[in-house]
Amino acid sequence: MSDRMMIGHLYPGKIHPTAFHNERKSAQAQSNPSHGKFQEILNENLLKISNHAAKRLEQRGIELKADQLTQIQNAVDKAAAKGSKESLILLENMALIVNIPNRTVVTAMDGTAMKDNVFTQIDSAVIIS
């Protein structure tokens, strides 16, 4: 897929995920103007990880594998089709809060952090089995 999808290695705190993406995007757009439009369309379909979510994934030792990312992207697509704005996505032993219009994971928790927790400010939930 793309470098942005390699969450198992998480941006090691030295580079903000969006900063890395923006540098690459501007360099690619300058080298090939028609490529910029393609890249823009591609970016609209990729799952992004916020800095906060990246920290939570790292703190909680959660590594997202490629197949899990695909499942999460499919869940985001389903939530978007229903008009969701903020969705709780439950996958195996983790919960993700995702801003659907921006396709951005806002925060993440493992099974331990989910216990006795109340999820607020969501308008949908997608359960991936």
Beta-carbon contacts of 3 under 8 Å, excluding residues fewer than 6 positions away, are 20, 24
pLDDT tens profile 104-126: 999 999 988 888 889 999 999 99
In the chain, the percentage of residues whose pLDDT exceeds 90 is: 51
Confidence band, pLDDT 50/70/90 cuts, at residue 72: very high
pLDDT of 80 strictly over 50: yes
Give 12's DSSP letter. Answer: -
Specify the pTM: 0.67
Spell out the long-range contacts of 109-112 with Cβ–Cβ below 8 A and sequence spacing 24 or more. Answer: 109/56, 109/60, 110/60, 110/61, 110/62, 112/60
